[in-house]
Structure 1
Amino acid sequence: MPRSTTYLDTQLTVQAGVPLRVAVYDRIADGIKSGKLALGEPLPGEGELSRQLGVSRTVAREALLLLEEDGLVRNRRGVGRFVTSRLPQIGLERIQSPEAFLSVASSVRFVRTKMEIELASAWVREGLNLREGDNSWIWESIVSDGDRHIGVTQEHVPVGSRLADVDEALADAIDAVPANGHSLLRVIMESLPERLGPAVAQVSASRIGSTRAAILGVKRDDPGLVITQRVDYKGRPLYLGKHVLLAEAAQIAVMQS
């Protein structure tokens, strides 16, 4: 008998002022973190869960969605919801490369599809504090975990003298990087002698879209996680990256310093 059958089969006691969905969330989250609900264990469906806890189906659904967002529950289409197989860890407390915050994937690899100098777009100019007409490096890569594509990345840094002014060794390192293996941010972090920062990261949900869907072998309307990073070095904008990942590829909390 699954542990969830006994642990969840008890009416909720809700403190005054606590929304029901939060109380349901807390009951399940506490069970997962305490081990009363085993990692990987199947959870009751929305109807059964609402009956067990004495709440409406809508409340149960909202709580489960919150648990999914926080990485404690996984939803397998057509199968049901399960306790995560690995407890989430807060990521990006420090500036991290995509390889680092995708460490839940066992063998992340970046396959470069584009590495060239081009006219900086308005988004890149704003992010790197460039002037209209300036160029920038653009690195585009497919992110793979084993033989499965899980995302695409687009990374930018200044070019020419603007990059050399930041660090000549870094400019040389970027020119020498092979096509496969690492993200641009990882190359930067391994090349510079001093710590990067400050940095800003933004996380949003989106749809994969037609172009990325063709690359990743998914549907264009499939959900994706978009992580945008801007990193400064010695008081100057140095790096701008956008990483679009399949929604199930990572659960990430972002607090950069």
Structure 2
Amino acid sequence: MTDNPERKPVFTSKPASPSRLADGVSDAIAAALFDGRISPGEPLPPEGEIAREFGVSKPIAREALRQLTAAGLIFTQQGKVARAKALSGEPMDRIYGYAVRSSLKRLQEANEMRRVIETGIARLAAERRDPEGLEAMRQGLVDMQASLHEPAGFTAADILFHLGLAMATGNAMIRVQMEGMRSVQREVSELFSRRANRSDADWRATIARHQAIYDAIAAGDADLAEQSIRVHFDAADIASLEVADKLGGGAS
């Protein structure tokens, strides 16, 4: 986009109050990003044009863009206009990553959070069965089979499976939430996959639990999908206790 006063306005709302002007500007730009008026990779108007369109100063427009950059909605480079980013869970992923690496207690809390969230996701996935999500889950299962006894590959397959679970709901915000929990999934999966006492039967039991979740969702059985994912997290809780024992009882 060029600094052109004749360009059709992109933003449909203006800051309602003279206070917190940058928040109002960033909210309006975010709305344009979320509803598709600005596509991923597309440049935003120059800072001066944003300031004129909203009737604010350049420093206010600059602060609004800084807020959006911090939120992971746009990216900026020195001397260039800002560009829209695709909606993703990257900002949450960074925050959760710091948290789960800080202590075993935070890791256990994060796994508890996943149980609460993914139980509801499994039900909705079974009700909607978005084909793209089902395919991602199926590929995750294939990759798990190909990565037996290989923690890194198995972890990547596990993350793909659970992302597919979210995608199967057909809900973009749920997908973003699951992307935001990748660091939690990665930390949990890597810890469990690297347990010295993890047997071949244990690896295969993990795949079987994922297969049960997939089968229930593919069949459209919401009750069974919820039951299957609860069984999966029950097993994860048992493994958590084993890890906690190895690491000294779960001190925070």
| Higher share in strand | 1
Q: Which is helix-richer, 1 or 2?
A: 2
> TM-score under structure 1 normalisation?
0.38
Q: TM-score, normalised by structure 2?
A: 0.39
